[in-house]
Amino acid sequence: MSLKTDYSKGVGIFGGTFDPVHIGHLRTSVELRKILGLSEIRLIPNANPPHRIQPEATAKHRLAMLKLALENEPGLVADDRELRREGLSYTLDTLAEIRAEIGAETPLCLCIGMDSLVNLNQWHRWRELTDLAHIVAAARPGWHLPQGGEVLEFIHAHRVTDKEQLQGQPAGKILIRELTLLPVSATGIRQALQRGESIRYLVPDKVIDYIRQHQLYSD
């Protein structure tokens, strides 16, 4: 009989295409898990992201690279639920699934970038996100809020400034946390590979080996 996973400290989710996964994704996840004191952060590859161009690598390859990158990092978990689900990858559906798994009282944190937060009204049923989870936005130094509009009103209605306020309830709050985000992009990595340039130290070595083995992102 397997032991039940302890989620008492809370669960974070961090989505993206991970096309490919890189050190920016990994470092942000490690820092947020430590800062927020979460039991784990689940990195969830998008299958069909509604607001982005479709990934270049297949779902199978992106998931395999993510699993390789997380092999030796306890507390970071590759979650393939959106790849297994048909249709567009709506975050609200993912939050509802995870909420059902971890229970009604466990803190759940949706980890996004500040650029996503200021454009939150473009998300599917965006006002309902805080019914299921807290929103934690990772911001670069010098970040700023929108000048006005419905997103700013939404942020003001839910914002807290202390991470401890996320632990006292399962959902409903927005925390903006300044991090020194690494200036690395999957687009830049793909372009470097197409030019035949090295991507060492931008991507875990096991992922580089996988990219070479399967000849990904090359003309």
| CATH code: domain of residue 46 | 3.40.50.620
Considering the domain boundaries, does residue 90 fall inside one? yes
Question: Can you spell out the DSSP letters for 41-84?
Answer: EEEEE-SS-TTSPPPSS-HHHHHHHHHHHTTT-TTEEE--HHHH
Residue 1, pLDDT score: 36
Considering the domain boundaries, does residue 209 fall inside one? no
d(CA 216, CA 194): 9
What pTM, to 2 d.p., does this model score?
Answer: 0.93
Which band of pLDDT confidence, cut at 50, 70 and 90, is reported for residue 219?
Answer: low
In terms of residue numbers, what domain contains 39? 11-181
Q: In terms of Cα–Cα distance, which of 216, 136, 185 is closest to 18? A: 185
Considering the domain boundaries, does residue 129 fall inside one? yes
Tens digit of each residue's pLDDT (9 = 90 or more) over 33-56: 999 999 999 999 998 766 667 789
Which band of pLDDT confidence, cut at 50, 70 and 90, is reported for residue 156?
Answer: very high
Q: In what order do the strands lie in the sheet with 108-113?
A: 76-78, 40-45, 11-16, 108-113, 134-139, 174-178, 159-160
Residue 180, pLDDT score: 82
Tens digit of each residue's pLDDT (9 = 90 or more) over 3-30: 467 888 999 999 999 999 999 999 999 9
Considering the domain boundaries, does residue 219 fall inside one? no
Considering the domain boundaries, does residue 23 fall inside one? yes
Considering the domain boundaries, does residue 141 fall inside one? yes
**In sequence order, what are the beta bridge partners of 16?**
45
Considering the domain boundaries, does residue 196 fall inside one? no
Residue 147, pLDDT score: 87
User: Structurally, how many domains does the chain consist of?
Assistant: 1
